[in-house]
Amino acid sequence: GAGVSQSPSNKVTEKGKDVELRCDPISGHTALYWYRQSLGQGLEFLIYFQGNSAPDKSGLPSDRFSAERTGGSVSTLTIQRTQQEDSAVYLCASSHRQGPVGEQYFGPGTRLTVT
């Protein structure tokens, strides 16, 4: 079946511009996560959505980062006034478990380069 999809796969933007990254989770998955992976670094948690609950935004690095999830499905991660340190691969994952723990299925990621 269809896995998690993300778009665009690559994005090059100038410093100071805003970018939007999109994630389509696996159908029926109630939980959706955003992570980012900088070169040579581990995955860093950004934000988590679970059903209709308020999202866990504890990993967002600054107020330039925001995310929304419409209709419990598609999610958009927005980075305003991008900086060079925002360059990374942004990964989205979804999970079908209702409980606090569930295997997370990752999308292919969006490689963001800020010049």
Partner 1 sequence: GQNIDQPTEMTATEGAIVQINCTYQTSGFNGLFWYQQHAGEAPTFLSYNVLDGLEEKGRFSSFLSRSKGYSYLLLKELQMKDSASYLCAVSDNQGGKLIFGQGTELSVKP
Contact by Cβ (8 Å): 90, 27: no
Minimum Å distance from CB 33 to partner 1? 6
* Binding of partner 1 by 91 (CB under 8 A): yes
Minimum Å distance from CB 41 to partner 1? 6
Q: Which residues bind partner 1 (CB under 8 A)?
A: 4, 31, 33, 35, 40-45, 48, 50, 56, 58-59, 91, 95, 97, 99-109
